[in-house]
Amino acid sequence: MSKFRTTLTGIALTGALVAGGLIMAPAASATEAPRVAQDALDVSEPHLEITPEMVKQAIAEARSAGAVSGEKVQADGTRTVTVTGGATDSRLS
């Protein structure tokens, strides 16, 4: 009988702790994270922080990763390289 009482006491205490936790715990509130707009470069202005060496290195890394999906050379010698990065394409000139 002693083991039966101990088991019932354990079950009752466990139930009381769980019920108390459910009643006294703060309500969960999920809030949507604020969306941050992606920064876009205005290509009509010069950007001194982006050097031609950085662009060449980025294109070389994209080529080595197999992410270059297209390349065009315009009549004035300007190159446009299309890099596929997952769901979006980026064009580097």
d(CA 49, CA 76): 25
Q: Would you place residue 91 in the very low, low, confident or very high pLDDT band (cuts 50, 70, 90)?
A: low
d(CA 3, CA 12): 14
88-92: strand order across its sheet? 68-73, 79-85, 88-92
Evaluated on CA atoms 57, 63, 64, 65, the torsion sign reads positive
Q: Where are the domains of the chain?
A: 2-25+47-92
d(CA 2, CA 5): 5
Q: Would you place residue 92 in the very low, low, confident or very high pLDDT band (cuts 50, 70, 90)?
A: low
Q: According to the model, what pLDDT value does residue 19 have?
A: 82
1-57 tens-digit pLDDT = 578 888 888 898 888 888 877 777 776 676 777 766 666 667 677 777 888 899 889
What residue ranges in 20-67 does DSSP mark as E strands?
A: none
